[in-house]
Structures are given as structure tokens and as C-alpha cells.
Amino acid sequence: MDKEKMKYIKKKLNPSEFKKICDLSQGKFSSIYLVEKTSTRKLLVAKVFNKNDMIVQNCKHRISWELKILSNLDSPYFPSFIGTSQTSRTFTIYMEYFPGGDFYYWEKRIGDTSPKTSQFYMSQLVIILDKLHSQNIVYRDLKPENIILHIDGYLRLVDFGSAIALPSFTSKTYSITGTPEFSAPEIILNHGHSIAADFWSLGVMIYEFISKENPFYEKDPIISYSRIAKGQIFFPKGFPSQAKDIVRKLMVVTPKKRLGVLSNGIDGVKEHAFFKGTDWDDMANKNVKAPLRPKLDSLRDTRYFSKYKIPKHELIEVKPSEDPFIIW
């Protein structure tokens, strides 16, 4: 999908239609709540932005891209876009709620890292990237905290605050975004990046799922950045050989030499020995039995989310003449 042709599909809602149930998490630019639409009792996620903060930090473009991408995605691996509402102080995006908890919670508890289990989860990330990249969308922040393990046992990618659509498959963007420990060298060094950056992050995800540790975490972030820039990876003893090989090929410092952007594209990832035996059609259609499913008493059971209290923030009224969000 051409960056210039991607249009935001508007769905305006009234904020009075929703009742807050609880806090879910705090993002860098937003607060995330579980809300109920009072007329239907349907549970939704409300992502609330402080308008004044977004204007002061010159980050309003992030909301623009999130709206364009979220409202154009159509896949069971992404949340449905419900709509938006706004006041003079806040702008809110409503989307489908998945009660299973984020993958950061689960990856530490999934003790089975056998090839079959690793393939099950990591192949879904490949399918997700394939869907995004087919529309020239580079995600730029692939990490466990942005992935939910839904009650069907399958993954959902839920945060598109760092995503952007590029004019073409080979185009680059130069904005610095994402989470350092999952970011490719070209993002850290501001050399310009494209979809190749997402394949680096996939390598980090595979490493972390199997080892339960991030390959670049250091107490001193300067050391982390240095190791990322050099592609310096240390594998723990017993790390599976096929997993080690795909991680090394995904985490090549030179983007154009990275698995996923070579001549055979993402098929090169799918055909790697790490994914041997994966039925990609069955995975895409969710016909493979999930290794585990989160157990819930009801859809209102939030046990798999951290008990988090979002701090109160001062909300400053934005005058209509100074409000860039009104057009949305």
C-alpha cells in the first residue's frame, strides 16, 4: 500500500458512551485503559493521548500514522479498529481487547522451548511481518510487550505507535523510534532504515524466547548500543544450532545482507531449517493446536496484566484554533 494513498478511515465515537473498568498500562505517549461500551457492555481498549503533550513534543504525526495503519489492517493477528473520540484535552483510540496478557509475561513462563513450540510462536511473528511488509509498513518496535497471547492461544500485535508506511519496499525512513534492545543497528546509528529493521527484531525475539534473556541487555546502555552496532551476540550453552543459525542470519549488521530482504524475501525466513515442518497455511488460518491457552474466569479477568495504576497527569485544554486533532 502506497504511503501517500493510505487514508485514515474515520469512525467517530462519543466519549460518554464508555465507562472505565481499570488501568492496563502506560506507554511513552499514551495511557491504556480497559473500558466498557455501556450500550452493549462490550469490553474495549482505550488508548488515551494527552493532546497538549503531543503538541509540545511534536509527536502528533505518530497518532496520524497509527490511525491510518490500524484502520487499514484486516487480519486476525491485529486488533479491530473500533473508532476514536476526543475532548479539548484528550484524543482516544478504541480497539479490540485481548484479555490474555502480553507476551513478556508469558515468554518467561513457557518452559517448553522445543523446536515445535518455538516454531509455533515465532512463525506467527513471520506471518505478522509478512502481512505488514506486503503493505510497505515497517513496524519498528517488535518486542514481547507489544504482543498479546489471546485466549485462543495465538498471538496478536497490538501497538502501532512506532509503525509507518513507506512509499516502496526499498524506501528508508530516518526517524529514531522503538526500544533500543530490540532495535537494528541502522536505527541506533540513524543510518536510515526499512523493513529490514523488523527482521533484526525478529532475530532478537527468537533469541529471547529460547534463552529467556535479551541478547543486548547491559546495565550500561552505551555498552548495549556498542554491541548492537557491531552485531555482537553471545549464545548461551546449549542454544539450538538451527535457532543459532537463523538468529545470526537475521541479525546481520548490513541490512541488505539480512535474511528476509535477500532475493527470496521473506520466503528465505520461512524456508530456513528453524521452521522445518511448519505448515504456513495452517498457521495463518490458526488450524494448529496451541501449546497453551490463558485460563480466565471471564473476559473481565485481567489477572495476566500487571496491576498498574496510571499516574494522574495534568490535562491542559487545547483551543480549537490550535488543535490539530480536530480533523480526525
> Known catalytic residues?
141
Q: Are 300 and 306 in contact (CB under 8 A)?
A: no
Task: Sort strands 81-86 and 137-138 into parallel, antiparallel or unpaired.
Answer: unpaired
What is the β-pairing status of strands 155-157 and 90-96? unpaired
CA distance linking residue 239 with residue 86, whole number of Å = 49
List C-alpha distances in Å: 213 to 182, 204, 274: 12, 10, 19
> What separation, in Å, do the N-terminal and C-terminal C-alpha atoms of the chain show?
21
The span from the CA of 131 to the CA of 73, in Å, is 9
Residue 220, C-alpha cell as written in the block:
550500561
Whole-angstrom distance, CA of residue 282 vs CA of residue 259: 23
Q: Do 139 and 162 meet the contact criterion of CB atoms below 8 Å apart?
A: yes
Tell me the sheet residues that pair with 147: 157
Query: How many helices (H) and strands (E) would you count in the chain?
Result: 10, 9
- C-beta separation of 173 from 138 below 8 A: yes
Residue type, 305: F
**With contact defined as beta carbons under 8 Å apart, do 203 and 272 qualify?**
no
Q: Are 143 and 214 in contact (CB under 8 A)?
A: no
In whole angstroms, give the CA distance from residue 326 to residue 77: 30
Is residue 108 within 8 A of residue 304, CB to CB? The reply is: no
| DSSP 8-state secondary structure symbol assigned to residue 235 | P
Per-residue cell: 132:
505488514
